[in-house]
Structure 1
Amino acid sequence: MTEAEFWKMEEKYWTGGSDYARSVTRDDAVFVFPYPAGILNAEASMKGLDGAVPWRSVTFHDRSFTHQGPVAVLAYKAHAEREGEATFVALCASTYVDDGDGWRLMSHQQTPAAIAEAGA
């Protein structure tokens, strides 16, 4: 896959809904979300998507991309919007692996920008 295709996949991960997320997430994936969610396995993270208000849009800033063999890492600052909520701004990282069934998410982490900036 090209770098542009990885970024499109990441955008769809945010906006494509729970069915899409399930289709491209490994069963042993790990998620690190802001409190109170915390560290979740794939099953718990996917359950959290059920019934959640979907992200209407997301834009990526300060992009970083690394691809070595069957592993790709995307790091970025996300600005995501949901209906009726303030824009969510976070520093994020996603790791994808090509496990023989195509590229699938192995790990995703989010740190709210306000927390990241407070620690600077």
Structure 2
Amino acid sequence: MDDNRVWTFEESLWTGDAEHYRASIDDECLMVLPQPPFVMSGGEAIEAVAATPRWSSVEITDRRIARPEEGLIVVAYHARATKDDGPGYEAHCTSTYRRRAHEDWLVVQHQQTPPLAITAAA
């Protein structure tokens, strides 16, 4: 998968419908999200995310891609997502994709870390 397709695929995971999400996530996927239950696996992760309202748009910056071996892609980035009718969301993220067949990729890992509030020492 070339770099442009990687980022288009990652963006679609934020904005696509629930069926697209279910079709893109491996049953054995592990996720760490910044809200309880924090760590999810397989169908639990798929259902938790598929059941939430989708983002209207996402801006992905600080993009990094690694290909540690054939059939494996790891991405890291900063996401800023918005909804038409609600507050936005920001996080530093990673995802790992595994190739099942030619041009057939699934997410096997995803993690989101919101930026920490930095306070000055008194």
- TM value normalised by structure 2: 0.87
Query: Partners of 1:39 and 1:106 in 2: how far apart?
Result: 14
Give the 5 Å matches for 1:1-120: 1-67=1-67, 68-100=69-101, 102-114=104-116
Q: Distance in 1 between matches of 2:52 and 2:71?
A: 31
Whole-angstrom distance in 2 between the partners of 1:92 and 1:53: 19
Q: What is the alpha-carbon distance in structure 1 between the residues aligned to residue 50 and residue 72 of structure 2?
A: 28
Q: Any runs of at least 4 consecutive aligned residues in structure 1 with deviations exceeding 4 A, and if so which?
A: none
* Identical aligned residues as a percent: 28
Letter in 1 for 2:113: T
Between the two proteins, the alignment pairs up a number of residues equal to: 117
The CA deviation at 1:50 is 4.1
For the aligned residue pairs, the C-alpha RMSD in angstroms reads 1.7
TM superposition shift of 1:57: 0.5
**Would you say the 8 A contact 1:63–1:76 is kept in 2?**
yes
Question: Given that residues 72 and 96 in structure 1 are in contact (C-alpha distance below 8 angstroms), is that contact kept between their aligned partners in structure 2?
Answer: yes
Compare the two structures and name the one with the higher helix fraction. 1
Report the TM-score, using the length of structure 1 for normalisation. Answer: 0.88
CA distance in 1: counterparts of 2:116 and 2:37, whole angstroms? 17
- Which stretches in structure 1 are left out of the alignment for 5+ residues? none
